[in-house]
Amino acid sequence: MLQSYGLTRTQAQIFIYLTRMGASSISSLAKALKTNRMNIHRNLKRMQDMGLINIIPGRPLRFLATPANIALDILLSTAKNRVSEMESKYPQILDALSKISSQQQEHAIETKFRLHNGRRSVYAIIMQILEESKREVCILTTPNDLVCLSLYGLDDALKKLYAKMIRIRILTNISDKKTALMLRDYMKYATIRHTDIQVRARFIIVDNEAAFTSLTVDSSANLDSESDSGFWTDSPHYIQSIKTFFEIAWRSAQDASIILQHLKTGKPVEKTIAFNDLKEYYEYLNGMLNRAESYILICVRYLKEPYVTRDFIQILKNAGMHGTKIKILTNLDEAAESIIEILEAAEVRHIDMEHIGISFITTDTGESLLCFPPSTISERVFQMQCLWSNFIGLSTILSEMFMDLWSRALSPPLKLAEIRFKRAVRELSEKLKPTIGETGWLIEMPAIIKGGSGLNQKFDLALKAKTSLEDLIVGDFLLEMGKAKVALISLHVKAIDAKATRKLLIIPRNEWLSSEERELAAAYNIELVEGIEAEEISQNIMEKISGAM
């Protein structure tokens, strides 16, 4: 029976199964319906777009059928739209095939404008043009205006139009239950959609031949109001202009039945908003952090402006005090030692954001905020390309992606040790040169030595004895974790060509090398020098070379 409402056989089976069994996973559905998971996934996506299925976040995702009465209302509304669109093509085809002479006659018609003042006069002309309609009526107006029109008899007018098989479309803002209840009755005769555009005007278009326009609408419920006004016209160019606007707004609007369901359950309407204003980005960012209850997942390029606000740390601390679990993925650079304060409120790990491109935040409320790399307008002015969404599906995808990145990211102590080591390397020359000069050695940092192969071999440092040209100590720094094996092999090969007598690999901590890498160092006779600060590294190098004297 559900197939007669426009569902495919598989979609009907899915809906019946979910209605009978309750929330179920894709695997459960595939097993019960004896089909593959991909087929179930495709049909669930289509049914979700139709408003027939809701997603329950978790692992795995589960799907729940919309209540039967609401689902049937949605299917009926969709069917009405389909039939109405087919009917609307009829006059378009006739117009396209009309003769040149009839087109010339149409252009010869003189257009008319008539101004109307006072609500009763305005409503009278509206009812008149509705009564004269033959094919289609398009209405865009405020919720208050629809309430007043119902008092004037819009309900009966819509019933008569529906009986004459005339297509009726109404576009408005649906923001409260009072408007929703009234529109539920209208949905029997018209297709109604909700727009996020704040409607302030009134457009009524009939058969693309006549239109009534009010640039502002009196918000009072008084039928005798004299502040209401508008004009009627049959100008083809004007009608085409406002009809184009109506169609654009209509395509981006949501079916009223979905909005009514959200108002009934109290759940927010799912939507996506794009913007490029930095202030607006901060408002969404702070709002999401303050609204989160269970968890916050943050993947951001840097923990500084413009990516985060100045009060970011305090907001995190406030959220943590309420029991919210916070995880942050970011690029820890040399300015990141200030994260010690952030570590008191959140778990932080290092990730190379070069390979990700976008920053994003998602929370347990189902909200997501995506930010593409900002463009610099001037020295202190940035422009952000951002998206905010409360679509549960997007939040679930971002959460899964975040946890995958989290499992492969570095903990702060390791990354901060790397940062401190790189800083120490830059300072090492100043610390080492004065001391080593007193021991009978000459130092070069960096050093280029011509090898026996004729190639110039580059080392991070080289020590040559003043008394013997044959005593040569070469060394390299291990600047990045995970690259020890390559560094050991490279140092060994270069040292052989340069005829070095000793080889040093300077590392932050011994833990940076695996047992296999330490064995490789021993096999190559490479001595390991540890140190995280320039002074420490300098002392350890001096201890090594003092044994060679």
Tens of pLDDT, residue by residue over 246-303, are 998 898 888 877 777 777 766 666 778 888 888 888 888 888 988 898 999 999 887 7
Give me the pLDDT at residue 465, please.
81
Strand partners, 457: 449
pLDDT of residue 127: 92
Q: What is the pLDDT of residue 339?
A: 67
Residue 354 has pLDDT above 70, yes or no: no
Nearest CA to 510 out of 489, 495, 532, 488 is that of 532
pLDDT for res 297: 94
Length of the chain: 549
Q: What is the pLDDT of residues 470-517, one digit of tens each?
A: 788 999 999 887 788 999 999 999 999 999 999 999 998 888 888 999
Q: What is the pLDDT of residue 424?
A: 86
Provide the pLDDT confidence category of residue 375 given band limits of 50, 70 and 90.
Answer: low
What is the average pLDDT across 441-452? Answer: 89
Neighbours of 383 (CB within 10 A): 14
Which pLDDT belongs to residue 524? Answer: 92
| pLDDT averaged over every residue in the chain | 83
- The token duo for 492 is 């060994």
pLDDT at 135 over 90: yes
Residue 137: the pLDDT is 94
Check whether 356 has a pLDDT greater than 80: no
List the single range of 83-92, 187-196, 470-479, 504-513 with lowest mean pLDDT: 83-92
- Exposure b/e, 202-217, CB count within 10 A at least 16 = b: bbbbbbbebbbbbeeb
135-to-163, 186, 490 alpha-carbon distances in Å = 12, 18, 81
Mean pLDDT calculated for residue range 210-226:
86
Query: Of all residues in the chain, what percent carry a pLDDT higher than 90?
Result: 23
Q: Average pLDDT in the 43-51 region? A: 83
Which residues are within 8 A (CB) of 193 and not within 5 positions of it... i.e. 6 or more apart?
169, 170, 171, 250, 253, 254, 255, 256
b (16+ CB within 10 A) / e for 393-418: bbbbebbeebeebbeebbebebbbbb
Q: Is the pLDDT of residue 101 over 50?
A: no
Tell me, what's the pLDDT at 432? 82
pLDDT beyond 50 at 130: yes
Say whether pLDDT at 128 is over 80.
yes
pLDDT tens, residue by residue, 456-472:
999 999 988 877 767 88
Provide φ and ψ at 432, rounded to 5°: -85, -40
- Is residue 74 within 8 A of residue 49, CB to CB? The reply is no
Q: d(Cα 36, Cα 30) in Å, to the nearest integer?
A: 6
Query: 3-class secondary structure for 295-352?
Result: EEEEEECCCCCCCCCCCHHHHHHHHHHCCCEEEEEECCCCCHHHHHCHHHCCEEEECC
Q: What is the pTM of this model?
A: 0.46
List the beta bridge partners of residue 55.
63
**pLDDT average, residue stretch 352-375:** 82
Which residue ranges form the domains of the chain, and what is each CATH number?
A: 2-66 (1.10.10.10), 99-265 (3.30.870.10), 274-409 (3.30.870.10), 415-546 (3.40.1350.10)
Q: What is the pLDDT of residue 97?
A: 62
